[in-house]
Amino acid sequence: MALKSTIFKASLNVADLDRSHYGEYQLTLARHPSETDERLMVRLLAFALFADERLEFGKGLSTTDEPALWLKDYGGEIRLWIEVGLPDERALRRAAGRADAVVVLAYGGRAVDLWWAKEGATLARLEKLRVLAVDPATLAGLTALVERSMELQCTIQDGQIWLTDGPQTVAVELRRLAG
């Protein structure tokens, strides 16, 4: 018998002063049984960073031909392909062929550095690719915000990012590896 996904609800208020984008999003996130709280929160962070009324979550870990999140235009063309974790170089090349832009939010501490040392030279040649590494302290802070029902506020101003649930605020640190 297959294990079922755990459903998380998030009310996310985004104030992105850098893009002049403001919005309130009611999100439903299905966490696959093999998915960690870290990956769940990096997906939620990715949504906050690239918030748009057409941005949507992919089908999840079990579907290899869809990203963690993507933004399609009204004609169905993929404008933005977002992966989280440490994706395979071939998958990112394939994504770059299908989308106008590809973003990776890499996380995992030292594993990110090892992955980038192995794949970085090849990935840096992909013009459409931007790779951002999530700081381990940021990841720990994001994971502390996990609840089945979350009310979060994300503020982005002058390249600074804060995510808060009221009592706790996480200053998000991202390191640009490519793009």
pLDDT tens digits, one per residue of 116-135: 999 999 999 999 999 999 99
Q: What CA–CA distance (Å, rounded) separates 92 from 123?
A: 8
Q: Would you list the domain boundaries of the chain?
A: 37-145+166-178
pTM of the model: 0.94
Q: Is the CATH code 3.40.50.2000 the one for domain 37-145+166-178?
A: no
Torsion-angle region of residue 158: left (phi > 0), alpha (psi -120 to 50) or beta? left
3-state secondary structure of 37: helix
Q: Which two tokens stand for residue 44?
A: 């939620």
Asked if residue 99 lies in contact with residue 78, where contact means CB atoms within 8 angstroms, the answer is yes
Residue type, 76: G
pLDDT digits (tens, 9 = 90+) for 24-74: 999 999 998 888 999 999 999 999 999 999 999 988 665 667 899 999 999
Asked if residue 129 lies in contact with residue 102, where contact means CB atoms within 8 angstroms, the answer is yes
